[in-house]
Amino acid sequence: MDLRHLTARALRRASLAAGGITPLDKAANIVDSRVVWRDGFTSWLTMANAGMMDPGNLHCFNHAVERLPAGAPVVEIGAFCGLSTNLLGHFKRLHGKRNRLISVDPWMFEGAPEAAGMLGQGPVSFGEYRDHVMDSYRRNVRLFSKDDLPAAVELTSDAFFAAWDRGETVTDLWGQALKLGGGLSMVFVDGNHSYPFARRDVDNAARNLVVGGWLFLDDSGDGSGWEVTRVVDELRRDPRFRHVMANPNHLFEKVA
Ligand X SMILES: C[S@@+](CC[C@H](N)C(=O)[O-])C[C@H]1O[C@@H](n2cnc3c(N)ncnc32)[C@H](O)[C@@H]1O
Q: How far is the CB of 61 from ligand X (least distance, A)?
A: 10
- Other beta carbons within 10 angstroms of residue 239's beta carbon come to 7
Q: Which of 37, 107, 161, 164 binds ligand X (CB under 6 A)?
A: 107
> C-alpha distances in angstroms, 231 versus 8, 200, 219?
28, 10, 11
Q: How far is the CB of 63 from ligand X (least distance, A)?
A: 17
Nearest to 94 by CA among 28, 18, 183: 28
Looking at the Cβ atoms of 11 and 162, the one nearer to ligand X is: 162
Computed on alpha carbons and rounded to an integer, the radius of gyration of the chain in Å comes to 18
Chain residues 163-222 in contact with ligand X, contact rule CB under 6 A: 190-192, 197
Peptide bond into 248 cis (omega under 30): yes
Nearest to 69 by CA among 104, 103, 99: 99
CA distance 21 to 28: 9
Q: How far is the CB of 158 from ligand X (least distance, A)?
A: 6
Looking at the Cβ atoms of 15 and 86, the one nearer to ligand X is: 86
Q: Which of 25, 58, 62, 80 binds ligand X (CB under 6 A)?
A: 80
Q: Which of 36, 53, 186, 205 binds ligand X (CB under 6 A)?
A: 53
Q: How far is the CB of 14 from ligand X (least distance, A)?
A: 26
Query: Cβ distance 247 to 219 under 8 Å?
Result: no
What is the size of the binding site for ligand X (CB under 6 A)? 22
Residue with the shortest CB distance to ligand X = 51
3-state DSSP assignment of residue 108? coil
Q: How far is the CB of 2 from ligand X (least distance, A)?
A: 32
Regarding 56 and contact with ligand X (CB under 6 A), the answer is: no
Strands 169-171 and 250-254: unpaired
Regarding 253 and contact with ligand X (CB under 6 A), the answer is: no
Interface with ligand X (CB under 6 A): 51-53, 77-80, 83-84, 104-110, 156-157, 190-192, 197
